[in-house]
A = this chain, B = another copy of it.
Amino acid sequence: MASNLRPDQLANLLRRAVRERMLLPGQTLNQDELASRFGVSRIPLREALRTLAGEGLIVMRPGIGAVVTELRPDELDELLELRMALEPALLASVVGKVSAQQLAELRAHAIRLGDLAVEGDLDSWCSEHYAFHRRLLELAGRRHSLRLVMQVINLMEPYARVDASLAPDGARSRCDHQALLDAIEAGDAGRTRQLAEQMIETSRARLAGLINDIPSSEDPLAAMLVDLKR
């Protein structure tokens, strides 16, 4: 597969692979395998990995290689606090900047999300959910805020996916997003911010209960403990 992919595109693919749990937290990545899978040599692949390392998504350990960042429960909580500090303000600043056409596209996207929730296609729902949020956040036109928020969301995403798979189907309804779009369309920044805060708070409440059940790829300590129990 000589796809002639560039480091930036490779980085995108790798981010998605981490988000979608094709590369699991704690997993050590084999550069030869990834490179040949993408049809490139290890040089551009390694550059992509370094980019992800700069974003905190992976860690490069000298002599060992790239390891997907693993989060402790308290770190997940920290990330949710960061989202709380960043995302509502960013969404509020979207108010007044979005055109009628953009809003229509977002509404269509939200409806697709609702349909997927009903169908129960979890992976698709997660991907579309992620894309929806990202598009919305992009509209603020604040590149630095966007970069930081996306870093936080990308870090959480592999865990959020597990959360989504355990949550009841009703939690993935379309209502939240439609309400958010309503507030934005109405030009109500305060309400937008409030709804955003509410959504994050909901995530936090759900994650708090599930945090210990999230499986990681190797988690040596947990494996040891399991062995010791026998």
13 A-B residue pairs with Cβ-Cβ distance under 8 Å, sorted by A, are A7-B50, A7-B60, A8-B62, A46-B47, A50-B50, A51-B54, A56-B147, A75-B143, A75-B144, A78-B142, A79-B144, A82-B145, A85-B89
Binary contact readout A70-101 vs B (1 if CB under 8 angstroms, 0 otherwise): 00000100110110011001000000000000
Chain B residues with Cβ under 8 A from A176's Cβ?
Answer: none
Residues of chain A in range 139-172 having any CB-CB distance to chain B below 8 Å = 142-145, 147-148, 151-152, 155
Chain B residues with Cβ under 8 A from A79's Cβ?
Answer: 144
Chain B residues with Cβ under 8 A from A48's Cβ?
Answer: 50
Q: Which 8 A-B pairs have the closest CB atoms?
A: A54-B54, A50-B50, A51-B54, A47-B50, A54-B55, A85-B85, A50-B51, A148-B148
- CB closest chain-B residue, reference A76: B144
Q: Tell me, rounded to whole Å, the shortest Cβ–Cβ distance linking A93 to chain B.
A: 9
A152: contacting residue among B62, B78, B85, B148, CB under 8 A: B148
Q: Tell me, rounded to whole Å, the shortest Cβ–Cβ distance linking A110 to chain B.
A: 27
Q: Tell me, rounded to whole Å, the shortest Cβ–Cβ distance linking A15 to chain B.
A: 11
A85: contacting residue among B43, B53, B62, B86, CB under 8 A: B86
A117→B87 CA distance, assembly (Å): 38
Residue total for A at the interface (Cβ-Cβ under 8 A): 34
A50→B44 CA distance, assembly (Å): 10
- CB closest chain-B residue, reference A140: B78
A67 within 8 A of B: no
Chain B residues with Cβ under 8 A from A151's Cβ?
Answer: 148
Across the interface, do A50 and B60 meet the contact criterion of CB distance under 8 Å? no
Chain B residues with Cβ under 8 A from A143's Cβ?
Answer: 75
Chain B residues with Cβ under 8 A from A148's Cβ?
Answer: 82, 148, 151-152
Across the interface, do B7 and A145 meet the contact criterion of CB distance under 8 Å? no
Across the interface, do B43 and A54 meet the contact criterion of CB distance under 8 Å? no
Binary contact readout A1-43 vs B (1 if CB under 8 angstroms, 0 otherwise): 0000011100100000000000000000000000000000001
Q: Tell me, rounded to whole Å, the shortest Cβ–Cβ distance linking A82 to chain B.
A: 6
